[in-house]
A and B are shown apart, each in its own frame.
Chain A
Amino acid sequence: MRLYLKFVAMHLKRSMAYKQSFFMSTLGQFLISFSAFLSMWFLLSRFGTVGGYTLGECMLCAGVTLSGFSLAECFFRGFDRFSGIVKSAGFDRVMLRPRGLMLQVLCDDIEFARLGKLIQSIVMLAWGVARSPVAWTPWRALVLLLMVAGGTVIFAALFILYAALCFFTLEGLEVVNIFTHGMREYGVYPLDVYGGGILKFCTFVIPYALFQYYPLMALLGRTEHWFLGLMPMLTPLFLIPCAALWQIGVRRYKSAGS
Chain B
Amino acid sequence: MIQVEHLTKSYRVSRRSGGLIKAVAALGKRDTERVVALDDLSFTVSDGEIVGYIGPNGAGKSTTIKILSGILTPDSGECLVDGRVPWRERKRHVARIGVVFGQRSQLWWDVPVIDSFDLLKDIYRVDASRYKKNLDELTGLLDLETLLRTPARQLSLGQRMRCEVAAALLHDPDLLFLDEPTIGLDAVSKLALRKFILERNRARGTTVLLTTHDMQDIEALATRVLLIGRGKLLLDGSFEDVRASLPGTGSLDEMAAALYRRYGV
A130 at the interface (CB under 8 A from B): no
Cβ–Cβ contact A3 & B104, under 8 A: no
Give the residue name and chain of the B residue nearest to A10 (CB). B119
B84 at the interface (CB under 8 A from A): no
Q: Residues of A within 8 Å of B, CB-based: how many? A: 22
Shortest CB-to-CB span from B163 to chain A, Å, is: 15
Give the residue name and chain of the A residue nearest to B72 (CB). A257
Cα-based distance from A13 to B151 in the complex (angstroms): 11
Cα-based distance from A257 to B67 in the complex (angstroms): 10
Give the residue name and chain of the A residue nearest to B71 (CB). A95
Q: Which of B71, B91, B115, B122 contacts A254, CB < 8 Å?
A: B71
Give the residue name and chain of the B residue nearest to A5 (CB). B122
- The digit string for A13-29, where 1 denotes a CB below 8 A from any CB of B, is 11001100000000000
Q: Which of A13, A89, A97 contacts B123, CB < 8 Å?
A: A97
**Which one of B106-114, B182-190, B210-218 is at the interface?**
B106-114
Shortest CB-to-CB span from B192 to chain A, Å, is: 25
Shortest CB-to-CB span from B103 to chain A, Å, is: 10
Q: Which residues of A contact B71 (CB under 8 A)?
A: 92, 95-96, 254, 257
Q: Which residues of B contact A256 (CB under 8 A)?
A: 11-12
B205 at the interface (CB under 8 A from A): no
A14-B108, A14-B111, A89-B104 are contacts. A254–B99 as well, Cβ < 8 Å? no
Give the residue name and chain of the B residue nearest to A251 (CB). B73
Q: Which residues of B contact A238 (CB under 8 A)?
A: none
Cβ–Cβ contact A98 & B124, under 8 A: yes
Cβ–Cβ contact A95 & B94, under 8 A: yes
Cβ–Cβ contact B115 & A10, under 8 A: yes
B246 at the interface (CB under 8 A from A): no
- The digit string for A75-93, where 1 denotes a CB below 8 A from any CB of B, is 0000000000000010011
Q: Which of B99, B110, B118, B123 contacts A98, CB < 8 Å?
A: B123
How many A-B residue pairs have C-beta atoms within 8 angstroms? Tell me.
67
Q: Which residues of B contact A7 (CB under 8 A)?
A: 119
- The digit string for A226-258, where 1 denotes a CB below 8 A from any CB of B, is 000000000000000000000000000011110
Cα-based distance from A100 to B94 in the complex (angstroms): 12
A6 at the interface (CB under 8 A from B): yes
Shortest CB-to-CB span from A252 to chain B, Å, is: 10
- The digit string for B57-96, where 1 denotes a CB below 8 A from any CB of A, is 0000001001001111101000000000001001110110
Cβ–Cβ contact A17 & B91, under 8 A: no
Cβ–Cβ contact A3 & B123, under 8 A: yes
Cβ–Cβ contact B115 & A257, under 8 A: no
Cα-based distance from A245 to B52 in the complex (angstroms): 39
Cα-based distance from A1 to B23 in the complex (angstroms): 46
Q: Which residues of B contact A18 (CB under 8 A)?
A: 110
A2 at the interface (CB under 8 A from B): yes
Cβ–Cβ contact A17 & B72, under 8 A: no
Cβ–Cβ contact B95 & A98, under 8 A: yes
Cβ–Cβ contact A6 & B119, under 8 A: yes
Cα-based distance from A236 to B168 in the complex (angstroms): 37
Cβ–Cβ contact A254 & B104, under 8 A: no
Cβ–Cβ contact B11 & A257, under 8 A: yes
Cβ–Cβ contact B70 & A95, under 8 A: yes
Cβ–Cβ contact A254 & B87, under 8 A: yes
Cβ–Cβ contact B69 & A14, under 8 A: no
Give the residue name and chain of the A residue nearest to B151 (CB). A17
Interchain residue pairs with CB less than 8 A apart (9): A3-B122, A17-B110, A92-B101, A96-B94, A98-B91, A99-B123, A254-B87, A256-B12, A257-B66
A-B interface, 9 closest residue pairs, ranked by CB to CB distance from nearest: A98-B95, A17-B110, A254-B73, A98-B91, A95-B71, A14-B110, A13-B111, A98-B94, A255-B73
B-to-A contact residues, CB < 8 Å: 11-12, 63, 66, 69-73, 75, 87, 90-92, 94-95, 99, 101, 104, 106, 108-111, 115, 118-119, 122-125, 151
Excluding A92-B71, A98-B125, A257-B11, 17 further A-B contacts by CB distance (< 8 Å) are A2-B122, A3-B123, A10-B111, A14-B108, A17-B110, A17-B151, A93-B104, A95-B71, A95-B90, A96-B70, A98-B123, A99-B91, A254-B71, A254-B87, A255-B72, A257-B63, A257-B72
